[in-house]
Chains A and B, each alone.
Chain A
Amino acid sequence: MQDYYEIRWHGRGGQGAITAAKILAQAAYLEGYQGVTAAPSFGAERRGAPVSASTRISPQTVMVVSQVENPNVVVVLDHTLLKYEEVTSGLVKGGWLIVNSWRHPKELDLGGDFNIATADATGVCSSLGLVVAGLTVVNTAILGAFIRATEAVGMASIEKAIRERFSNSEVGINLAAIAQTYEITKLEKMR
């Protein structure tokens, strides 16, 4: 297991990319990492428009305050964003690209020196009814794919972070979404 992660999240305004970045930071801290930071991309955000966020995880205090340039994990909450070059930009060799998609990683047809994980988080959330104002909210579900692919934090820490952040009535459905997405995640390691 490596010990320093720079994770960049891509989604659309309203999907909860920023919240996902924060939940992961909190879970990593609970896991025992002393240094965690979570930040939105700076500036204005609009519903439906592409947004990004970042999480840094380290055994020591994070001293870097500049924006993530070379993430070792990129998480994409909306697969239609893959057409934008900046989504995979800077992803390090051997890193992970994690995509909310019903396709198999091979079918994404992405060249690159990185591993790919896919999971149909949208499908999981629709069947569970994790929908807010007509939008499936996949930000918690995709954490299941994240921990399956990277093993950076354990399910117990994620569960604890979810319990700290959400009200009792919301905990169950979010934990179910994470567990189900974890199970259906398909991994394709780079050759």
Chain B
Amino acid sequence: MIFVGKKMVRRATTRILDGNHAAAQGAKLSRVQVIAAYPITPQSPVTETLSEFVEGGELDAQYIAVESEHSALAVCTSASMVGARTFTATSAHGLAYMHEMLHWAAGARLPVVLACVNRAIGAPWNVLNDQQDSISQRDTGWIQIYARNNQEILDSIIQAYKIAESVYVPVMVCYDGYILSHTEMPVDIPSQEDVDRFLPLYKPHTILDPANPKNYNLVTLANPRVNTEGVLCHGYMELRYLLQEALQNSRETITTVGREFGELFGRSYASMFWEDRLDDADIVIVAMGSLAMEAIVAADMLREAGNKVGVLGLRVFRPFPKSDVVQALEKSRLVVIFDKNISYGLEGATCSEIKSALYGSSINAVIRNFIVGLGGRDVKARELVDAVNKSLLSVKEGDLNKEYPEWICDI
């Protein structure tokens, strides 16, 4: 036994795990009851491992084999509505195929948790990493959390259930394909007993019961309407307002759950993003996922050269932590944002969000956006350093904004 804060926790066991096995362990420790998934590279080992847990009797869950990702999420939403804790995982084209059901799960306010193993989307065909798949689903009403390493994958999945079941919004835990999914590193696996204390059993808000039949999510008209029992019910727009309100208010839950997790397990997730040396930094690198780790190496190199550089590693992308970001960037004169995605015709998604957050604030920093790492293109710390140095030159020119992002590639 070790003591962390006031609470007592059992010692975790450390194993060398890849990201997919860390995700499967996270789902198992969360005592998921229904798993439905369809294999796709690089996600497949998650579902294979979970099916072995179920088959071997280590996990008391129903593993439902389906013929597509659309069905996988349809099963999860249905099972969630019946009252089960559900899990699925996918990548790239699989996530795209789930698109309709992603909207449905969020609209129906079901606390489904999904692991998205980030992979590029074709054409051209590519199985390697970037974050275009989950970024393309940002407007479906899901909370999105990005992990920097395999420990954060396991921890985030456990927290995702507590968050989802508190605010009734589904949560997508995203992690970089191959870079994390297929790379082994030490991961602390907490004891089941401790996870049970942190994450109580799921109490569903809807339970389908044949003895008491009900309808859910029927055709709902634009305006509020009196039902057959004479009760005035929300229209479509009111229900959608409540979804937005739930995401707006979920920040508090996300950080509280992250703090509680830290108190029990010694790893705190009390902030919406990771801060590295932002206290005295006037140059800030922004990155999301594993690239936020590589960015810390780049910051080390830039600091050695005498620059005051910090890293803002985005963890929660939806809800986007606007006011927190503004606060964290207060001292910056240059913000260099690296995106492993792009909203074609505009710029990287995290860049747009940060610019939007800064509107109306007193921060007038130079902002540069670099598109990197698409389709598995390796992104090295020295390349991040070069991009920051290049951006520093344009600070001198007083050029605050560029109309379009720069790309780190051979064109």
Q: Which of A22, A29, A44, A63 contacts B186 (CB 8 A)?
A: A29
Binds B, one of A33-41, A146-154, A175-183: A33-41
Q: Which of B16, B184, B186, B378 contacts A66 (CB 8 A)?
A: B378
- Interface residues of B toward A: which range? 20 to 34
Report if B379 contacts A (CB, 8 A). Answer: yes
Report if B182 contacts A (CB, 8 A). Answer: yes
Asked if residues A37 and B380 are in contact (CB atoms below 8 Å), the reply is: no
CB-CB under 8 A from B269, the residues of chain A are none
Q: Which of B14, B127, B297 contacts A63 (CB 8 A)?
A: B297
Binds A, one of B133-141, B286-294, B329-337: B286-294
Report if A138 contacts B (CB, 8 A). Answer: no
**Bitwise interface map of B from 166 to 198 toward A, beta carbon under 8 Å scored 1, else 0:** 000000000010111011111000000000000
Return A29 CB to nearest CB of chain B, in Å. Answer: 6
Question: How far apart are the CA atoms of A36 and B178 in the complex, in Å?
Answer: 16
**Bitwise interface map of A from 10 to 49 toward B, beta carbon under 8 Å scored 1, else 0:** 0000000000001001100100001111111011100000
Asked if residues A63 and B294 are in contact (CB atoms below 8 Å), the reply is: yes
Question: How far apart are the CA atoms of A36 and B16 in the complex, in Å?
Answer: 8
Q: Which of A37, A66, A67, A69 contacts B185 (CB 8 A)?
A: A37
Report if A64 contacts B (CB, 8 A). Answer: yes
Asked if residues B16 and A29 are in contact (CB atoms below 8 Å), the reply is: yes
CB-CB under 8 A from B293, the residues of chain A are 63-65
Asked if residues A66 and B380 are in contact (CB atoms below 8 Å), the reply is: yes
Return B269 CB to nearest CB of chain A, in Å. Answer: 17
Report if B296 contacts A (CB, 8 A). Answer: yes
- Given A63-B293, A63-B296, are A36 and B186 neighbors across the interface (CB < 8 Å)? yes
CB-CB under 8 A from B297, the residues of chain A are 63-64
Asked if residues B185 and A42 are in contact (CB atoms below 8 Å), the reply is: no
Question: How far apart are the CA atoms of A25 and B150 in the complex, in Å?
Answer: 15
Question: How far apart are the CA atoms of A63 and B127 in the complex, in Å?
Answer: 24
Residue of A nearest to B16 (CB): A26
Question: How far apart are the CA atoms of A63 and B378 in the complex, in Å?
Answer: 15
Question: How far apart are the CA atoms of A39 and B16 in the complex, in Å?
Answer: 12
- Given A22-B16, A36-B16, A37-B183, are A66 and B381 neighbors across the interface (CB < 8 Å)? yes
CB-CB under 8 A from B16, the residues of chain A are 22, 25-26, 29, 36, 38
- Given A25-B16, A43-B128, A43-B376, are A64 and B182 neighbors across the interface (CB < 8 Å)? no
- B-binding residues in A (CB < 8 A): 22, 25-26, 29, 34-40, 42-44, 62-67, 69
- A-binding residues in B (CB < 8 A): 14, 16, 127-129, 176, 178-180, 182-186, 290-291, 293-294, 296-297, 376, 378-381
